[in-house]
Chains A and B, each alone.
Chain A
Amino acid sequence: MNFLMLLLVCFRALRRNAMRSLLTALGVVIGVAAVITTLGIGHGARSQIEEQVNRLGQNVILVFPGSQSLGGVSAGGGTVNTLTVEDALAIRDEIPEITAASPEVRSQRQVAYGNRNWFTRIYGQSADYLHIRQWPMEAGRMFSEEDVARATKVAVVGQTLVEELFEGANPVGETIRVQGMPLEIIGVLDRKGMSLMGSVQDDIVLIPYSTAFRYVSGRTHAMVINIQVLSDEYMDIARAKISDLLRERHRLRPEQPDDFTIQTQEEVARTATETSRTMTILLGSIAGISLFVGGIGIMNIMLVSVTERTREIGIRVAVGARTRDILGQFLLEALLLSCLGGLLGILLGFGVSTLIAHHAGWAVSVSVGAVFSSFVFSAAVGIFFGYYPARKAARLNPIEALRYE
Chain B
Amino acid sequence: MPVIEIENLRKTYSMDGGLSVEALCGVSLCFESGEFAAIMGASGSGKSTLLNILGCLDPPTAGRYLLNDDNVAALEGERLAALRNENIGFVFQSFNLLSRTSALENTELPLMYNHSGLGMTEIRRRALAALDRVGLAERADHHPNQLSGGQQQRVALARALVNEPSVLLADEPTGNLDSRTTLDIMALLQQLNDQGMLIVMVTHEQEIGAYTRRILEMRDGLIIRDSPVENRRHARAEASGESTTRLNATES
Contact = CB atoms under 8 A, between A and B. Distances in A.
Interface in A214-230: none
A12 interface: yes
Q: Which of A311, A322, A399 has the most CB of B within 10 A?
A: A322
Given A8-B120, A320-B82, A320-B85, A325 B98 contact: no
Interface in A9-36: 9, 12, 16-17
Interface string A311-328: 110111111111101000
Given A315-B109, A322-B81, 19 more contacts: A2-B117, A16-B99, A311-B96, A314-B96, A315-B98, A316-B113, A317-B57, A317-B84, A318-B55, A318-B84, A319-B84, A320-B82, A320-B84, A321-B81, A321-B113, A322-B77, A325-B81, A399-B57, A402-B96
Contacts of B109: 315-316, 319
B226 interface: no
Interface of B: 52, 55, 57-58, 77-78, 81-82, 84-86, 90, 92, 96-101, 105, 109-110, 112-114, 117, 120, 159, 163
Q: Nearest 6 A-B pairs (CB), nearest first?
A: A320-B85, A319-B110, A320-B113, A322-B81, A16-B100, A320-B84
B96 A320 contact: no
B172 to A, nearest CB: 13
A269 B166 CA distance: 80
B98 A320 contact: no
- A interface: dominant SS: helix
B90 A318 contact: yes
B145 to A, nearest CB: 12
Nearest to B113: A320
Contacts of A314: 96
A12 B98 CA distance: 11
Contact of B96 (A9, A318, A325): A318
A110 B159 CA distance: 73
B131 to A, nearest CB: 15
A319 B52 contact: no
Contacts of B100: 16-17
A319 B162 CA distance: 10
A398 interface: yes
Interface in A264-320: 311-312, 314-320
A319 B159 CA distance: 8
A283 B215 CA distance: 74
B47 to A, nearest CB: 14
A5 interface: yes
A323 B78 CA distance: 8
A320 B82 CA distance: 6
A77 to B, nearest CB: 61
A1 interface: yes
Contacts of A317: 57, 81, 84
15 contacts: A1-B112, A1-B113, A8-B112, A9-B112, A12-B101, A16-B99, A312-B98, A316-B113, A317-B57, A317-B81, A318-B55, A320-B113, A320-B163, A323-B81, A325-B113
Contacts of B105: 12
B52 A399 contact: yes
A316 B105 CA distance: 12
B57 A318 contact: yes
A315 B96 CA distance: 7
B149 to A, nearest CB: 17
Contacts of A12: 101, 105
